Amino acid sequence: MVQLELEDPYVVIYKQIHAVVDQEGKQVELMERSRCYGGSAWARYHYSRGPLVLSSRNLGEWFRYMISPGSADLDLVSSKRSAGIESVQVQGQEVEVTYAGLGGGGVGATLSRAKADDVLRYNVTECGGGRVARGTIVLPRRDRVIIGVDDTDSKTLGATWSLIHNIASKVDRPEARYISHSLVQLFPVPTKTQNCVSTVVEFACLPGKAEGMLSDFKALLRKYTVSEQTGMAVFRDFDPSELLPFGQRCKMERVQYEDALEAAGNAGVQIFLNGQGLIGAVAALPFCARPDESIVPGIQ
């Protein structure tokens, strides 16, 4: 009979943890990629009650916290408020995150996060039992890079959403992590191939390190698209919501190519491929990381 052993029976290590920061360093989105949904759901419940967390949500295995940097007294109470984010500090090109917790929450606050991929270094206390445990992890500061794509298929071949997911997975790398994917239902124009759906993907990139990923992404898109009208648009900032009126309009009515160029120019969007699909590509950008909302048609 084979003797089974657990390497570390009380630690479930997160796959990845990232900190995306706005240009002024006043907003941080902490992204934790979980190996255990139940454990991360427990953490989200407790962490969301802390004073630094403005909002939280989960998308698949990613648990995401919008945070106002600073420090706070968590006043931990067993079973009611057992763990939380005690401090988030933006220090130049690094972000320090301090977690605290009681019992099992202390284990999650320390070793479970300290050993995740892309953590630069960490400092943890003893954990477990009735004591309060703390763990500080240091993460590289990252920028949000959003890529919208439309019109890669034909009447008989391909689907944009699957091609873009496969490309994003292929170009994923430590300096440019693939985070999210959304399908965006657009107004069914006569020139559509089938369902009139564009796609948007999100990356968390080290400052100045997105270019290689974007170059590889574009090269693969050029190689595998079966359309001559492919559009690829890139938004490189923390919040794409200024493009939401244009995106909503593209759900409600047919939009002209010139309108997409104007919207892109006003929002600082970079155009990588300028086929007719650019309309849907730009329209997809504000629906980044909103996959349940983005699939809803603008007209019923």
Residue 98 is encoded by which pair of tokens?
A: 């301090």
pLDDT in tens, 107-144: 667 788 999 999 999 988 776 556 677 889 999 999 99
Backbone angles phi, psi at 215, to 5 degrees: -65, -45
Cα 130 from Cα 277, distance rounded (Å)? 58
Cα 253 to the chain's mean position, in Å? 29
End-to-end CA gap in the chain: 61
CATH number of 151-294: 3.30.70.2200
* CA-closest candidate to residue 274, choices 258, 285, 253: 258
Q: Is the pTM here over 0.95, yes or no? A: no
Amino acid letter, 197: V
β-pair type (132-150, 121-124): antiparallel
- The pLDDT value given to residue 158: 72
pLDDT in tens, 206-257: 999 999 999 999 999 999 999 999 999 999 999 999 999 999 999 999 999 9
Residue 176 is encoded by which pair of tokens?
A: 């440019």
- The pLDDT value given to residue 79: 58
Cβ partners under 8 Å of residue 33, min gap 6:
14, 15, 16, 17, 61, 62, 63, 116
CB 38 within 8 A of CB 30: no
Angle between helix 160-171 and helix 211-224 axes, rounded to 10 deg: 140
- Burial, 97: exposed, middle or buried (Cβ in 10 Å; 0-12, 13-18, 19+)? buried
* CA-closest candidate to residue 17, choices 158, 183, 142: 142
- The pLDDT value given to residue 126: 72
Whats the size of the chain, residue-wise? 300
Q: What pLDDT band is residue 98 in, cutting at 50, 70 and 90?
A: very high
- The pLDDT value given to residue 254: 92
Cα 195 from Cα 188, distance rounded (Å)? 7
Sign of torsion, CA 139 144 145 151? positive
User: Please, where in the chain does CATH 3.30.70.2200 lie?
Assistant: 151-294
Instruction: List, in sequence order, every residue forming a beta bridge with 33; answer none if it has no partner.
Output: 16, 62
- The pLDDT value given to residue 18: 98
Q: What pLDDT band is residue 154 in, cutting at 50, 70 and 90?
A: confident
Distances (CA, A) of 23 to 70, 129, 142, 237, 239: 16, 41, 10, 8, 10
- The pLDDT value given to residue 40: 94
- The pLDDT value given to residue 86: 94
Write out the DSSP string of 141-208. Answer: EEEEEEEEEE----SSS--HHHHHHHHHHHH-BTTEEEEEEEEEE----TT-SSS-EEEEEEEEE-TT
